[in-house]
Structure 1
Amino acid sequence: MNSAVKTYKGYEIHPLVYPRRPAGAQATRNPGAGYDASVRICRVGANPAADGRVFRLQYLFPFDGMGKARIACMAHAERLIDGQVSGQSVTDL
């Protein structure tokens, strides 16, 4: 999934999209439940697993498609990097 990685102002953005599992749900896949998303951000050239940080996207409703979730990840990451998300920052990465 490296093709989904984007660089922005010296940071790598890794979208993380996964099937939604509502509280108390069975451990089976239900594509109709939609998707949740997070984004991992690290400096360009850093090890994302060791030197990055994951930020979960907080939406009331699940995304109805993986593509929409990825687009939201990228937009959220850019706002984070630009310092436009209250209470979240990447300045110490």
Structure 2
Amino acid sequence: MDSEADEITSLVGREVYSNNGVFVGEVEDVRLNLDTEVVNGLALSALNPDLFANEATGEKGVIIPYRWVRAVGDVVLINDIVERYESTEEEGEVAV
């Protein structure tokens, strides 16, 4: 379990980009489901103002669902944030 914990904490501080190369933000924290022992979200800060300028994101940032993550390496690559964010709002889910 210690190696898994190290992997999870190594996400903090990584930059997050959409799959089309747009900077989204930086991972500030990881949201865990302790019952199932899985990561279910990433808390992002230092958000790209072009993406979130007109959105009510709170003071610190947004939480994106971990299912949006496509790859983790030197950076975190996620599905296109703008399309996902807008479709989530239309479905009535709250992702922020």
Which structure has the highest strand share of the two?
A: 2
Q: Specify if TM > 0.5.
A: no
What TM bracket, shorter-length normalisation? 0.3 to 0.5
Structure 1-normalised TM-score?
Answer: 0.35
